[in-house]
Amino acid sequence: MVEYRTLSEPEIDRALFQNFIRRQVVTKCWRREKGKWLIKEVPFIDDWTEEDYKVLIGCLKRTVSTGGVVFGAFADKELKGFAAVLPEIFGGENQYMDLAAIHVSQDMRGSGIGSCLLGKAKEWAKEKGAKKLYISAHSAVESQAFYKKMGCMEAKLYKQEHVEAEPFDCQLEVLL
């Protein structure tokens, strides 16, 4: 049984992620070349270092302290997934809110946690007045399959700060 709840700023610390497994073995990714999306062989292992966790924890705390939200998914009282939505609406008529993070622990992928977390993020953003969620998403074929299954499509407007920070990410949106 998975429990979902909103996380408070004080509980977002390194201990929260003690049993969270970020590891993702990537073999193929989507890449945009000459205006077309192609699948390319790009093998690597994506995992977080202690410095990455430190940055993540700071970002999640800042999200909560500035009026955004972080949802957690817990199995046996251990964090197994999380999603964060920033509070600002941007993008003119597109009325986006930024899905700043969504991750599921390697040992729980495929269990429906990601779908539930995305649903909670969409519901929260809609309640706050957004029309769409903006997602700067990992380009791994498996990650993109998840987003496509959830109804995401290429963003009409790219948020430049995401493009610059993660040039290989796919910039997506999903209607609320």
Of 78, 106, 87, 97, nearest in space to 17 by CA: 78
Q: Report the C-alpha gap between 10 and 35 in whole angstroms.
A: 44
pTM, two decimal places: 0.95
Q: What is the mean pLDDT of each run of 10 residues along the chain (176 residues)?
A: 97 98 96 93 94 98 98 98 97 93 97 98 97 97 96 95 94 97
> Which DSSP letter does residue 108 get?
G
Which amino acid is located at 108 in the chain? M
pLDDT at 150: 97
Q: Taking the CA of residue 80 as centre, how many other CA atoms within 13 Å lie in the half-sphere pointing to its CB?
A: 20
pLDDT at 112: 97
pLDDT at 30: 96
pLDDT at 129: 96
CATH of the domain at 76: 3.40.630.30
Q: Report the C-alpha gap between 118 and 99 in whole angstroms.
A: 9
Q: Report the C-alpha gap between 44 and 25 in whole angstroms.
A: 6
Residue ranges making up the domain that contains 51: 2-175
Report how many domains make up the chain.
1
